[in-house]
Structure 1
Amino acid sequence: MPTYCRTFPGHVEQVGCARRWAREVLTGCSCAGDAVLIVSELGTNAVTHTTSPDFHVTIHRARGSVTITVTDHGGSTTAPHLAKPYDHGMHGRGLAVVTTLATDVRFTRNAHGHEVAAHLASEVPAC
């Protein structure tokens, strides 16, 4: 099954480009809406919580599933993690949304940056 990869400059306005690209790649897939939201959340985290010059998005479509991986090149003293947001705060909900939508989420931190992979089940067998 196909794997799609694209690198985006590490600017907040590029998150919209990543969202549009993901929507196009996932046309006809039952989990496309959730997957696009995940790309948006993870891309936003990559550009707002690191000094990475870019972020890389990989979308792997398989029978009955989609895996989205967003990678940055670090520049942060913390790794991606679930946070408890303040009641009226504007931040802190992104990874909670991702973990709610995905069937599995993996966080990896290495010497080069961070990688977050989210796996979604799809109702369409040929997704």
Structure 2
Amino acid sequence: MHEYTSTVRVWGLSCPGFPEEVSRARRWTRDILRGSPLAEDAELIVSELSANAILHTASGRNCGTFHLALAVSPRAVALSVTDDGGTSTAPKVEHQDQDAEHGRGLGMVNALAHRVIVHTSQAGHTVTAELFTAPRPGDLPC
């Protein structure tokens, strides 16, 4: 194999911060992962993270955007959503009572993904969810 060749493929998409763009993000994810056993979980995760960016950050304000990155290897899928910031608190899993109408989304992402990483910068937050295929003994996820 050539030293610059990789089995990892990466896609990116930037969306205006309109609620209807969440369905576009889902479709985009579904199209890229067509045939993958991880496609349905990935689609749900992208939907939740995109909606959170629009609802809870400057991404949903006038001229706001959110950005998606999707990395696919034979062993893993990594989905990242980056928002425009505008909030001082990083996304976190909250334990809501059963009557709460909001606040369960990141918990769902955490339950579906094998690992969730939140990165905060001056520009905003990036939430990355990693899904691993069933590894063979001794294999690393990527």
**Shorter-chain TM-score category?**
over 0.9
Bigger drift between 20-29 and 81-90 goes to 81-90
Partner of residue 46 from structure 2, selected from 32, 39, 46: 39
| Percent identity (aligned) | 40
Where do 4+ consecutive residues of structure 1 move more than 2 Å? 122-125
Q: Where is the strand percentage greater, Structure 1 or Structure 2?
A: 1
- Find out whether 1:12 has 2:23 as its counterpart: no
Q: Describe how 1:60-71 pairs up with structure 2 within 5 A.
A: 60-71=71-82
Distance in 1 (CA, whole Å) between partners of 2:84 and 2:67 is: 9
Greater relative CO (CA pairs within 8 A, separation 6+): 1
Bigger drift between 42-51 and 84-93 goes to 84-93
Distance in 2 (CA, whole Å) between partners of 1:29 and 1:48 is: 29
Q: 1:94 maps to which residue?
A: 105
Cα shift at 1:77: 2.4
Runs (5+) with no aligned partner, structure 2: 1-7, 137-142
Q: 1:49 maps to which residue?
A: 56
Q: Work out the number of aligned pairs and report it.
A: 125
Runs (5+) with no aligned partner, structure 1: none
Cα shift at 1:64: 1.7
Q: TM-score, normalised by structure 2?
A: 0.84
Residue aligned with 2:58, SS: coil
Cα shift at 1:123: 4.6
Cα shift at 1:18: 0.4
Distance in 2 (CA, whole Å) between partners of 1:123 and 1:30 is: 10
Q: Which has the larger radius of gyration?
A: 2
Equivalent pair of 1:29/1:122 in contact (CA under 8 Å): no
Bigger drift between 44-53 and 76-85 goes to 76-85
